[in-house]
Structure 1
Amino acid sequence: MRISVSVGKQAQPLMVPSGGGSTVKINCTNLPRQKDKVVVVMGATGTGKSRLSIDLAKRFPAEIINSDKMQVYEGLDIVTNKVTNAEQRGVPHHLLGTQNPNSDFTVTNFCDKASFAIESILGRGQLPIIVGGSNSYLEALLDDDDYKFRSRYDLCFLWIDVSMPILHSFVSERVDQMVENGMINELKLFCNPTADYSRGIRKAIGITEFDRYFQNEGIVNEETRKRLFLEAISEVKDKTCKLASKQFRKINRLRNMKKWEMNRLEATQVFKLRKHEKEANEAWEKLVAMPCAMVVAQFLYSVSTDVSVNIADLRLPAMRTAIATVT
């Protein structure tokens, strides 16, 4: 068995889970390389991109850059599904809830601030992980006109893919959970018939859908109010499902037409098990978190072996055993 390890700016030891809650530390030798490395986590809304990025940041020395065009604004934390402070688990996040909700955060704004964040993170010897569903932001950043980004950085794409019917069912359930968590009170603060719904955070799904309900809730009878409420909820679910489908098509376009080399993780089984928390978490670790950790380890540290490791078939114990032999 032959193992080679190399690392550039990310000079910290590689920590790879070895089972039983313990980790294996790999002492890496600094070797020069031409490009710094950036990981990009992609997927339709609701597929678990934030969860994966945080899982990776707890395994590798990393910080996260948000590329969701609604989560970049302050406010509507429930509506936009921002990862909570507790869920962040101490991992630094950039461009998350940082912009004035009444301003327009443009693609150019994102590219400028994301580029600055990447260099800042690399300057601290950390790995930048870009995560979010706004693929237009990602495309503008990574495929800029003069190709500067690609000339400076090596990219590792991780795509969490979930069957659309299963994902649509999940995001519909998630809307119901958002309502229980206080989504209506959040929306009420931003729904205003005199406001510009084409600007800033008011472009988020939920604002225009609930506008009619809020304008009429105090002047109609209970039956009509309930009907308007259910219609608004149905519209939010429908638009969220359409958004997921649109994002899926965009990812496939980037993969097939622009030849983005994506590591696809099939996570449908995780969502099928969502009613069973323990089994779902085990499936997430097996099908998503651990395979991605192996991909990122290979990407960052050039871990290579003459043992065939097929991540799609999850023959990961062989890779863990191989990695554990490095001293």
Structure 2
Amino acid sequence: MDSRGDSFTNSKVIFIIGSTGTGKSRLSIDLATRFPAEIINSDKIQVYKGLNVVTNKVSESEKKGVPHHLLGEVDPDSEFTARDFCINALSAIERIVKSGRVPIIAGGSNSFLEALVEDPLYKFKSRFSCFFIWTDVSLPVLFSYVSKRVDQMVETGLVEEVREIFVAEADYSKGIRQAIGAPEMDQYLRAEAKMDKTSKEIMLASAIEEIKANTCKLVRRQLAKIHRLKNELKWPIARIDATVVFEKCGKEADNAWNEYVLQPCMEKLSEFLNVNANEEENEHSVA
């Protein structure tokens, strides 16, 4: 990196990390509607255009007017590497800081975050002051939640989305086709036109169960990487236990979110940003 970075010394950056399904997007948006902030996506699959259901991208209404960067911007057939992420994320960080706002980097691709923070090429640690929030949920509760979420994704169009991009002999190691939900549907989509209704239902159910199993495997891999960042690389990560939220539903879940996740995070970030949490909540709104 060149000397431009010197002007950003001690500029503040917030990271929200966690396994898939733990509320990272919700928390980043909630915080960005209370503090003057913009969000940078660090999920290596959500950077691609398309498969909004499969990749669980936040909708326009869910964004609540908060600007998002690196979300659904990259050609779905291209390769987006950790280096690509670092270059684009740094550019977005600089633009956000210059606008007087705080960058919130949120997503589950911890390899991208490690490259950004640790690679000496980017001099990130000497340029920025960082705060790391880890939204954590106990594994039994999280596994149950992500399983139900897959069922909801199927109901809202997962199969149809994957069918739209399906091509025989597709490379599932590149681009958006890496997304969990795409490779698992391959055999079903190849065979569906040749099967009777019962056979199709059986094969589809098997593909859905595989999606659920692979999602749980992803959760474990992400969790292992977070522990490595915290224990081996000594990142000062603040863990927020959101388990109680996922054990409830409806109004009770929303109340638990505010009490056990949002309010503690606001208090921690108010101290980090040197602002009064109540004043920020009352005075700042997203245009």
TM-score, normalised on structure 2?
Answer: 0.92
User: How far did 1:195 drift?
Assistant: 2.3
User: How far did 1:191 drift?
Assistant: 2.1
The equivalent position to 1:201 in structure 2, one of 176, 181, 202, is: 176
- Secondary structure of 2:71's counterpart equals coil
Instruction: Show CA shifts across 1:101-153 (max 9, x none).
Output: 00000111000000000000001000000000000000000111356100000
- Taking structure 1 as reference, are residues 320 and 207 closer, same or farther at Cα in structure 2, changes over 3 Å only? closer
The equivalent position to 1:287 in structure 2, one of 247, 254, 260, is: 260
- Taking structure 1 as reference, are residues 292 and 204 closer, same or farther at Cα in structure 2, changes over 3 Å only? same
C-alpha separation between the residues in 2 aligned to 1:78 and 1:189?
12
Of Structure 1 and Structure 2, the greater helix share is in: 2
| Aligned partner letter, 2:137 | V
| Aligned partner letter, 2:161 | E
| Aligned partner letter, 2:198 | E
Number of residues of Structure 1 aligned to a counterpart in Structure 2: 275
- Taking structure 1 as reference, are residues 33 and 206 closer, same or farther at Cα in structure 2, changes over 3 Å only? closer
| Aligned partner letter, 1:63 | E
Q: What does 1:54-65 correspond to in 2, within 5 Å?
A: 54-65=29-40
- Indicate conservation of the 8 Å contact 2:8/2:94, yes or no: no
Q: What does 1:1-327 correspond to in 2, within 5 Å?
A: 34-146=9-121, 148-273=123-248, 276-301=249-274
Instruction: Show CA shifts across 1:294-319 (max 9, x none).
Output: 1111001177xxxxxxxxxxxxxxx9
C-alpha separation between the residues in 2 aligned to 1:42 and 1:231?
31
Percent identity of the aligned residues? 51
| Aligned partner letter, 1:277 | G
C-alpha separation between the residues in 2 aligned to 1:39 and 1:207?
31
C-alpha separation between the residues in 1 aligned to 2:225 and 2:76?
26
| Aligned partner letter, 1:281 | D
Structure 1: runs of 5+ lacking an equivalent: 1-31, 304-318
Instruction: Show CA shifts across 1:266-287 (max 9, x none).
Output: 11000001xx210000000000
- Indicate conservation of the 8 Å contact 1:191/1:208, yes or no: no
- Secondary structure of 1:154's counterpart equals strand
C-alpha separation between the residues in 2 aligned to 1:260 and 1:118?
20
- Secondary structure of 1:218's counterpart equals helix
User: How far did 1:320 drift?
Assistant: 6.4
- Taking structure 1 as reference, are residues 226 and 48 closer, same or farther at Cα in structure 2, changes over 3 Å only? same
Q: Which has the larger radius of gyration?
A: 1
Instruction: Show CA shifts across 1:209-245 (max 9, x none).
Output: 0010011111012221111100000000000011011
C-alpha separation between the residues in 1 aligned to 2:205 and 2:192?
12
Structure 2: runs of 5+ lacking an equivalent: 1-6, 283-287
C-alpha separation between the residues in 1 aligned to 2:215 and 2:137?
15
TM-score, normalised on structure 1?
Answer: 0.81
C-alpha separation between the residues in 2 aligned to 1:146 and 1:197?
30
The answer for the alignment partner of 1:4 in structure 2 is none
